[in-house]
Amino acid sequence: MAKYFDVHPENPQRRSIGQVVDLVRSGGLIAYPTDSCFALGCLLGNKDGLDRIRAIRQLDDRHHFTLVCHDFAQLGQFVYLTNTVFRAVKSATPGPYTFILPATKEVPRRLMHPRKRTVGVRIPDHVVTQPNHAERGEPLVSTTLLMPGEDEPMTQGWEIKEMLDHAVDAVIDSGDCGTEPTTVIDFSDDEMEVVREGAGDLTRFE
């Protein structure tokens, strides 16, 4: 049965965040809010957690997971950025954007695009997500909480708890966080390619 954390949307309880961090560090899988929508996440080396995410969402091995980082310094450990791309990504983080970039050797091969050797990275701008990542000290492997056959992600923590009670280890609820996923931008070839238009404003890249 999943633990349910009802946290304040502006001043999340430090004790609750600490419990979530301990759970993730011990191999747990969480459903958590971001600045775009709810997501599923586990630690980078948690193979069982990844398998559970794939089972929940019915994903194949080609699905592009995202590394959710605490800050730009951490993001830079996992992807290569040219000077031009660095400036573009830096100006848009934290925020509701996912950037596809060449992966460094710190990224397990199973998380890379099999041919391009790329990975998606992002830094959310969310009052609950940020302290969670800061205390944990390493990125989450994450994907939007979009159930098979549905057109939009789940939005209510209590509904997620009811549906995924035996599939995840914890649900963090800070209220409705929307249904629009991140804007996905591919910078892997040093040129900007919009893969998906979402919550992030594209005009800042013009």
Q: What is the pTM of this model?
A: 0.91
Percentage of residues in the chain having pLDDT higher than 90: 65
Determine the pLDDT at residue 101.
96
Asked if residue 136 has pLDDT above 60, the reply is no
Q: What is the pLDDT of residues 81-121, one digit of tens each?
A: 999 999 999 999 999 999 999 999 999 988 888 888 999 99
Asked if residue 134 has pLDDT above 60, the reply is no
Q: What is the pLDDT of residues 145-194, one digit of tens each?
A: 999 999 888 888 999 999 999 999 999 999 888 888 999 999 999 889 99
Q: What is the pLDDT of residues 61-73, one digit of tens each?
A: 778 889 999 888 8
Beta-carbon count within 10 A of 28 CB: 22
Q: Which domains, and CATH codes, for the chain?
A: 3-205 (3.90.870.10)
